[in-house]
Structure 1
Amino acid sequence: MSLMLSAVRIRNFRSLVSADFSCTSSSGTVLIGANNAGKTAFLSAIRAVFDSRFPVSSEDIYRAPGDRVSDVESRKAIIDVLILPSVESPLDGDRTSPAPVEFSAEWQTHFGRFISLDDNFNQSVSIRATIMFNRSKGEFEVERKILLDWPDDENIEEYSDYYRDVPRETFFEALPVFYLDARRDIVADMRDKFSYFAKLVKDIKIDPNSLLRFEEELQSINSQIVNESDVLQHLSEKLGMVSQTLDANASKILIHPVTQKMNDLGRNLVINFQDESSDVFPMNSHGMGTRSWVTFLTLLSYVDWQIKLRDSEDKCYHPIILLEEPEAHLHPNSQRNIYKQIKSLNGQIFVSTHSPSIVSQVDPFEILYISKKSGKTITKTLSKDITPEELRKLKFEILRSRGELLFSEMLILCEGETEEQSLPTFFKKYFDRDLYEVGINIVSVGGSGKYKPFLKLARSFDIPVFIFSDGENNTIEQVKKVVKSIFKEDNDKQMEKVVFLSNGHDFEGYLVDEGYVNELVIALEEEKGEGFLDKFVKRKHGTSSGRSATDEICSCCNQNIFKDDIRDYYVEGGDVIALNDCLRTHKTAYSSTIANYIIDLNEGNERMIPSKILELFGKIKHQYFTIEESL
């Protein structure tokens, strides 16, 4: 393809009063973000630039609260697109290549005089589409021009240096846009003469000699069908009376159960589907999942066919493919498969999605996260300072298994399974809402040293993140160190979102220390049986809990001598030690229920939610009061 849409800047278009998008891949960009963040507006903006048939109206102009019709009609929407030679790195501004980056010879010929050069002789083409109200016509229209260069962010709306020549339609024919929205349906497409399906099958070319033979065979088949059917014979005889009425002896009525003319094939084409254990059924008998998928495959077929035609004519061609929610109506496994098929498309692809299954298949650097803060659209991509090992962890430990994290309004990170399963119950009690209702995910990172990839993910995509951490000294130091390395100048603000458990405890030890022994024993024995703790004490007392180094040095190897640490549950405080040991080795027995027992057994008093969890919720409520408002 040898080129890419590298950057898109939008002003006053639909909900996007001001938004800048950078694309780092010439093959694919995946847009994620909450509903109404601006994903569809972004796709429509690209259509407005490259599709001359894209209809525009007052609905495409940003409307501020209280705006009148006259305000909208006096406002212009601006969409700038930067096209660069395809180099797999962010090229909107910083270029470090020692040699100039140039388009291929074919594209240089196609773009011609519209190619701009920067100070380092790197080539680019900058297109502007301006949507404005034409008062003489009484309607909105699109004006497309080529910019002399790529303007600075702050000068976009004032910039007016254009090439005098206006690009012709042939300029844009090499940059076609193909768009599928989330409401796609092959059954509707088979009836729509403007669909990709109809465009593909409208001109079925067949060798003339074969065409004549096929039509003769069809005529014979039609005659045989009529002759075999009493009903059709009867109908044919009665309809033949028309020749008597019209006094036209040479005329006759012919019934064609099967299409007679090959030229009609495209209009009468029917798609059926059959699996290995069923009969053939037409598409309108299948569910929306199959129909949606077939619609996408039709687009794939149409794009590939157009590429073959352009290749045979030796013409430049860079398809721009815009797909809204390709996962619609599909099973999660099918969603994974469809993204592989999407990536097989030849062209530059932009996909908007809400599917963790699709996100799990994506190169993390191809993700464009879109959000709104105080009405302003913010776009984020993965930080470039991520190491190869961190990237591996991000792909395989987060995106492949926890892709839904990218769709979070907020993350709460903790270390262990018990916290991960308990915090949602306490959250529900405190806020009277489930976590999913406000877009919060709680994640066990699996240990104090494993926060980093999750924090880098949150930092890159500007997702608010809180940490509920164990309180051991080395854990506290690890958390402080990793937060400082990632958040840098915002370290102090991020540390305000961290809660450490008290007295050096992990979560189970903290609950014991806070006096929730009775609740823990009940939760444990509810699952493992009455008297389970006593049996644990009898079985484990006097056994080794591990080995530790002594001060005694071995005379042979000059190393510290190790000895067994023997459990003693009958000393003073031994019952607490026994309970902690039992809890650590049987977390699955109580982790999902302990919160319920704490709440139920302390209903109405201050112990209903442990103090450190209250501290965490207080920070969330204080620093992100919009969550409380949404509740």
Structure 2
Amino acid sequence: MYISRLSLRNFRNFNSASLSFTKGVNTIIGENGAGKSNLFHALRIMIDDSMPRSIRFYENDFNRSIGDWAGHWIVIQIIFDDLDNGEEAQSIAMHKMADAENFDSTKGTYTLFFRPRIDIRRSLFELSEKEGKTQEELSEILSQISLNDYETVYTGRGNIDFSIDENYSSFVGDFESITFPDPDEERVDVYGIKMYGISIPNEFACTFAKALRDVEADLRSFKDNPLINLLRDKEKNIPIEKKSELESQVEELNSSISSLEEVKNVSSGISQTMRDTVGETYAPNVNIKSELPANMERLLQSLKLWVGDPDEEDYDGRLGELSLGGANLIYISLKLLEFERIKKNEKIANFILIEEPEAHIHNHIQKTLFQKLDKDSTQVFISTHSTHISSVSAISSMNILARGWKKAEVFNPSNNLQPNEVVKLERYLDANRTNLLFAKGVILVEGDAEHILIPILVKKVLGVSLDELGISIINIGSTGFKNIAQLFHQDRVKRKCSIITDNDISIVPLPEDDQNDDQYQRDCRNSQISGESRKQDLENFCENNEYLKAFYAQHTFEVDFLLAVNSLEIKSTVEKAFTNRVTIEKICSRIDNSDVATSGKEILRLAEKFGKGWFAIMIADNIDHCTYIPDYILNALVFACPNIKKSILIYIAKYRISQLIKVNFDDLNYTDIFANLSAYDDETEALDYYKKELQNDVLSEIMVLIDA
């Protein structure tokens, strides 16, 4: 038995979300604030018997995107698969076609509804039946609803997924059209059967290891200390005579300590001082006694962990001497051992929830820990924002959470992919590439030169990094973009992805008859044919996919960078790379040639001489705010990051002007422009002013592209 799906409606930052899970280890990845902790809290409400059954929800538990919460429902629903024939499991077995005698015994639902009480729902239904109903009448009813008018109901065997908008509108209500269902229609096929006399979480073994843990504090706590829980479980196995013997020894030790002459002297000294201070009548009697716990349970609670470094076998120290990462590993190990204790109690399902296990743990341990968590008959849920853990996670058992406007977005990266396609993806993704799963936008490039220079171009020209824009740039290392690009799709990861590649149009004229090609022309022709074929293939691949688009250099990255009026950067690189003045002048003369057959051929020669990656590093030293970003790269950048905040555009504007003040090469007064821009309180007006004053600036081009 395992959880195959979790559906959430209106719970915290989840407006309508459905997550699919598999047997074994499941990974929930996402940036900070994406909702990983909220998702775990929802899961624990449903399956963790340490959580209170009388769950109380508050106004801030409703998703903000719905506006006024009054009248809306919070729904948390779990779908189970592979149910056995036990009585507890069959209590949640899913019906087929609302036929109670013909149900699927291998699937089941367990649902929590936090909803208005039936009298409120009746009022809403009666209004929806009324002719000429108005929003004012609906608002009147809703304005009188408080949280005290809500009830929490657990049901089993429901057949409807309330994360689907149509279902929510039909069976909870449509607040726009003022249409609400009749609450007196039982509809157990929709809402399920109320759970009486059975607590589903009590039938599960569930252990939760929280994030941001203070291990020392947790191990001092009697309530949450996994060490004490393990020792308490073992206490019942200690023979009674052994307990009595130990307790007697402790009592004797207490008596011996208390009777020490030094202890008695301190005790009598305190008593005499009290009498001297308040007199014999009011002075209390004072004694000092040892209180080592004589009760076996309290004795076990006094035990503490001592740990040693694996490189120092002969030394043990207190937990506080251990690194944060080491202490974290101790905590997780105790929780896993605690789970094994719970698991033995013949539960119908076993679950482990671990929140951000990567805290303070270095890369190798993160990967090893993850790979060791796959346990028999146990479903594991791990939340993380570690690229190292995500790099060893199966795409097929991964859910991605992303921050949306007032609500979380949920992506399943393997949805509707063939098994062989999933395998290729999993083989490709490593710690350096899985950061694309956390990004707001992605740029895929084919080689080292683009991977090195594009981030530097953006940073030097615009004053912001790709990281600040939420964009990951991934070097595919070839032109085989499809394997990774297929992630970005309506069915999977709904994030914009730009593909940057070369069209490889020949830089030299080609004879009409290819039989007349010399060797260089033949190579150029073959590259051009390959480029045209690749472009057509990519265009077909990206067709009808709003999240994917390809952008092409007319020739190659190096040539198009030069043609974007960046000869100064190339010549500065040449000046530093060569010492012979004649050689430098000869190369610079070719670079300045207006015929691409000459200049393009020369820059490609330089790239081949130094290696494309190293040549890009050399050029990077000479890039500044005056460098031109080639149009195809600028378009790719805007596509991958379509929702740039106006505050970021203002930041870029101020950066651009501050840099232009330093090298004022035209007649514009950039100091005045900066002051005028800064005087605007309204960001839109400020940006309009910038576009008016600096019409040909790169930022103005970007704003035109994004229509800002």
Amino acid in the other structure paired with 2:616 = S
The corresponding residue for 1:255 is: 290
Return the offset for 1:464. 1.0
Q: Distance in 2 between matches of 1:533 and 1:499?
A: 38
1:345 Cα deviation after fit: 7.8
1:83, distance to aligned residue in structure 2 (A): 1.2
Counterpart residue identity of residue 428, structure 2: E
Query: Are 2:90 and 1:109 aligned?
Result: no
1:38 corresponds to 2:20 = no
- Aligned counterparts of 2:464 and 2:319: Cα–Cα separation in 1: 42
The partner residue of 1:583 within 577, 601, 607 is 607
Amino acid at match of 1:255: S
Alignment of 1:216-231 (within 5 A): 216=248, 218=250, 231=262
Indicate how the Cα distance of structure 1 residues 372 and 483 shifts in structure 2: closer, same or farther if over 3 A, else same: farther
d(CA) in 2 for partners of 1:532, 1:117: 86
Cα distance in 1 for partners of 2:352, 2:457 equals 45
Q: What are the equivalent positions in structure 2 for 1:84-95 lying under 5 Å apart?
A: 84-85=81-82
Q: Which amino acid aligns with 2:242?
A: S
Match in the other structure for 1:626: 644
The answer to whether the 8 Å contact 2:6/2:79 transfers is yes
SS at match of 1:383: coil
1:303: Cα distance to partner? 0.8
CA contact (8 A) 2:264 2:288 kept: no
- Structure 1 residue 26, shift from structure 2 partner: 2.0
**Among 630, 650, 660, the residue aligned to 1:610:** 630
Give how far 1:221 is off.
6.5
Match of 1:90 in 2: none
1:457 aligned residue = 487
Q: Distance in 2 between matches of 1:114 and 1:619?
A: 47
- Any stretches of 5+ residues in structure 1 without a counterpart? 86-102, 246-250, 539-571
Residue 266 (str. 1) matches residue 300 (str. 2): yes
Q: What letter is aligned with 2:222? A: K
Shift of 1:615: 4.0
Compared with structure 1, are the counterparts of its residues 239 and 184 closer, same or farther at alpha carbon in structure 2 (3 Å cutoff)?
Answer: same
Q: Which residue of 2 aligns with 1:22?
A: 20
Deviation track 1:587-612 (CA, whole Å, cap 9, x = no partner) reads 34331241442437xx3xxx533344
**Deviation for aligned residue 1:328:** 2.0
Q: What is the CA–CA distance in structure 1 between the aligned matches of 2:630 and 2:199, rounded to whole Å?
A: 69
> CA 1:588–1:378 in structure 2 vs 1: closer, same or farther (change >3 Å)?
closer
Show the counterpart of 1:98: none
SS of residue matched to 1:340: helix
Letter in 2 for 1:31: I
- 8 Å contact 1:524–1:589 — kept in the other structure? no
The aligned residue for residue 47 of structure 1 is: 44
Contact 2:496/2:640 (8 A) holds in 1: no
Is the counterpart of residue 142 in structure 1 residue 152 in structure 2?
yes
Matched with 2:224 is 195
Relative to structure 1, the CA distance from residue 611 to residue 151 in structure 2 (aligned partners, 3 Å threshold; closer, same or farther) is: closer
Q: CA deviation at 1:279?
A: 4.1
1:105-161 superposed Cα distances (whole Å, 9 cap, x missing partner) = 3xx332345423436953322111122467999486532122343457322465442
Q: Match of 1:298, SS?
A: helix
Contact 1:304 1:346 in 2 (8 A): no
> Where does structure 2 lack aligned partners over 5 or more consecutive residues?
118-144, 172-186, 273-279, 281-285, 505-527, 588-595, 650-708
| Equivalent in the alignment of 1:424 | 455
Q: Displacement, 1:619?
A: 4.6
CA distance in 2, matches of 1:479, 1:65: 41
Q: 1:76 to 1:255 in 2, by over 3 A?
A: same
Pick closer, same or farther for the CA change 1:62–1:261 going to 2, 3 Å.
closer
Letter in 2 for 1:266: L
Q: Deviations over 1:523-548 (max 9, x none)?
A: 2563x55249949x99xxxxxxxxxx
Q: Is the 8 A contact 1:324 1:352 kept in 2?
A: yes
**1:264 match: secondary structure:** helix
Deviates further, 31-40 or 417-426 = 31-40
* Secondary structure of 2:644's aligned partner: helix
1:62 corresponding residue in structure 2: 62
Give the Cα separation in 2 of the matches to 1:137 and 1:439: 39
Aligned counterpart, 1:501: 553
3-state SS, counterpart of residue 500 of structure 2: strand
User: Given the superposition, is the C-alpha separation of residues 345 and 352 from structure 1 closer, same or farther in structure 2, using an over 3 Å criterion?
Assistant: farther
Indicate how the Cα distance of structure 1 residues 209 and 5 shifts in structure 2: closer, same or farther if over 3 A, else same. same
Superposition TM-score, scaled by structure 2 size:
0.67
CA contact (8 A) 2:452 2:613 kept: no
> In the alignment, is residue 379 of structure 1 matched against residue 403 of structure 2?
no
Q: Distance in 2 between matches of 1:77 and 1:280?
A: 50
How much has 1:384 moved relative to structure 2? 5.0
Contact 1:58 1:140 in 2 (8 A): no
Match of 2:341 among 305, 312, 319: 305
1:477 aligns with 2:533: yes
Contact 2:89 2:348 in 1 (8 A): no
2:319 matches 1:283: yes
Shift of 1:188: 1.8
Partner residue, 1:566: none
- Counterpart in the other structure of 1:83: 80
My pick for the range that moved more, 210-219 or 173-182, is 210-219
Q: Give the distance between the partners of 1:190 and 1:217, measured in 2 at CA.
A: 26
Q: How many residues align?
A: 545
Judge conservation of contact 2:433–2:474 (CA < 8 Å) in 1.
Answer: no
Q: For the residues of structure 1 that align with 2:61 and 2:220, how far apart are their CA atoms?
A: 32
Are the structure 2 counterparts of residues 469 and 573 from structure 1 closer, same or farther at C-alpha, using a change threshold of 3 Å?
Answer: closer
Query: Shift of residue 465 of structure 1?
Result: 0.6
1:468 matched to 2:500: yes
For 2:582 and 2:195, how far apart are their aligned partners in 1? 83
Kindly provide the CA deviation profile for residues 328-378 of structure 1, in whole angstroms up to 9, marking residues without a partner as x. Answer: 232233322332343348632222211101101211111101235454543
Residue 406 of structure 1, CA deviation = 0.9
Percent pairwise identity: 20
1:91 paired residue number: none
Shift of 1:240: 12
Which shows bigger deviation, 341-350 or 580-589? Answer: 341-350
Deviations 1:444-501 (A, max 9, x none): 21122x211220233331221112211223234324424534x4532xx567x42211
Aligned to 2:512: none
SS, match of residue 343 in structure 1: coil
Computed over aligned residues only, the root mean square deviation of the Cα atoms, in angstroms, reads: 3.9
Question: In the alignment, does 2:207 pair up with 1:178?
Answer: yes
Task: Give 1:584 shift.
Answer: 2.0
Counterpart of 2:243, as a letter, is: L
Q: Which amino acid aligns with 2:496?
A: P
